[in-house]
Amino acid sequence: MLSALMCLGAGSPASAQQQVYKCWSRGSVVYTERPCSKRVLNADEAPVPVKPNPKEVDIGRIEQNRALARSMRPMAGESTEQFEKRRRRARLLATDRDECARIDTRMPVEEASMKNPDKAEVLKAEAALAASRKRFGQLGC
């Protein structure tokens, strides 16, 4: 009977062992019963950075350079002013180029409406023309 009690007594410390966590606190090692951080990281869901394919990058760069080179050559029948405008706008983003084209068509209409005999319409046209010219300058059209 005594040997049975000894076996039970020897088995209980082994079952009473707790997990010990090794943590860093203020530059020194600390052993605790609880995990070091309450934040749990799941590496399975972390995004994996994808490197671009160098061939695809080169093809895009080549196409961009070709378009820029085409814009740097004067077209047949193109005046110097038209060529300079096209060359300037070739460096803009596509959305900015589109906005410049809209401003180009809008400004003559606003200038024509300034010849209206109604003073209120003239004031509106002046304000609109000033806004168009300001945006034209901001975009670098």
pLDDT values of the chain reduced to their tens digit, one per residue, 141 residues: 555 545 555 544 555 567 777 777 777 888 888 777 766 555 556 666 677 677 666 777 788 788 777 767 777 888 888 888 888 888 888 888 889 999 999 999 888 888 888 888 888 989 999 999 999 888 888
Q: For the packed helices 94-113 and 119-139, what is the interaxial angle rounded to 10 degrees? A: 160
- Dig out the tokens for 92 from the structure: 């803009």
Crossing angle, helix 54-71 and helix 80-90, to 10 degrees? 160
Report pLDDT for 131: 92
> According to the model, what pLDDT value does residue 53 have?
72
Three-state DSSP at 79 gives coil
| pLDDT in the model for residue 65 | 80
Element (H or E) spanning 29, and its range?
Answer: strand 28-32
Residue 69 CB neighbour total at 10 angstroms? 10
Q: Return the pLDDT at 39.
A: 60
pLDDT for res 60: 74
Report the alpha-carbon distance of residue 124 to residue 110 in Å, rounded. 9
pLDDT at 17: 63
Q: What is the pLDDT of residue 134?
A: 92
Q: Identify the residue whose tokens are 């972390």.
A: 46
